[in-house]
Amino acid sequence: MSPQALKSSANLKSPAKVLEEQLEFSNITDLRQGLLRKVEEIQKNPAIRLLILKHGRPQAVLMSAEAYNTLKKVAQLFLNANEGMSREQIIHAAIERFEAERAAEPAEAEAGVQEVAREKAAAG
């Protein structure tokens, strides 16, 4: 591999990191005031997802229809890949993964809320 190829491959970001770069946070009050603007912003850049917080805890995600359709396709590919498993096994495995991820979410969401507060304080 050439030095240039090594350098560019070292700069590649993990898919999770790329997804997090396009994740924004908003509380419900702020979202009510700027919903139309946010929807237009998401339409212009389908990679943006807006994590909606209530009392500092994640409640919902606002994303483009394009991102939602992609998510559905990925889910279908996952289901197809697990065809050998029974429906109950797939559901059980998915629930276990969900619970493990959910246990880690409050700290991640709190970090996101703190980052938004720092950005607002710096801008204001």
CATH number assigned to the domain comprising residue 52: 3.40.1620.10
Among 44, 49, 71, CA closest to 61:
49
Residue 37 has pLDDT above 70, yes or no: yes
Query: Nearest CA to 42 among 53, 51, 54, 32?
Result: 51
Measured distance CA(90)–CA(24) in Å, rounded:
31
Q: Is residue 2 part of a domain?
A: no
Q: Which two tokens stand for residue 75?
A: 């889910």
Question: How many domains, in total, are found in the chain?
Answer: 1
Mean per-residue pLDDT of the chain:
75
56: containing domain: 14-123
84-112 pLDDT per residue, tens: 788 788 788 888 887 887 777 666 666 66
In a domain, 99, yes or no: yes
- Give the lowest-confidence range in 28-37, 45-54, 61-70, 101-110: 101-110
| pTM for the model | 0.50
pLDDT of residue 40: 92
In a domain, 63, yes or no: yes
50 and 61 Cβ atoms separated by less than 8 Å: yes
- In a domain? residue 6: no
